[in-house]
Structure 1
């Protein structure tokens, strides 16, 4: 059970925008750094078929689409951090609680591995 499920907050709460874009990006990057530690769960196999060479991002994203449906970028099947630019700086919508679920998902599922 993830953070939002435990706390009955599956949908964003209007008055809780405390994780700004910079903090979101920092936390997201911390998770992204360890994505390969999920390769045991979503393996991408080497061309010779003998071993795992990394994380299959498509399988990983497809799985997260069901576990954390409000994660930023998940609807386009590309998990990413929101980026502020001249075109969308005012209309950028992201769910900070989905990010907390994403962090917790990593903490529950990453494993060390030796390639």
Structure 2
């Protein structure tokens, strides 16, 4: 039912987000570490929810999200970043959560945003 795309270049952070969202009800997850990989993953399978870091080793999370929106339409997105001031564009339907974060905050945002999107 709910497929999540995690755009995160730090493997341990990506796995923590994956575990948290799986426990919160996500049925499938794809992880992309670069802007290009994120866009390709969304083309392969449209996500119902996206989490994205802002600064990636290759590319920019908000740019990946904008490109995904152009292909897939708007999707609820939670930006999880150590640099919230650099999150541009991160306007609705996005929310911004600063690192360090708690699993509880991620799960709450996921449940709230996916319920609103239904």
**What TM-score, normalized to structure 1?**
0.30
Comparing both structures, which one devotes a greater share of its residues to strand? 2
Which gives a bigger RCO, structure 1 or 2 (Cα 8 Å, sep 6+)?
1
For the pair shown, the structure with the greater C-alpha radius of gyration is 1
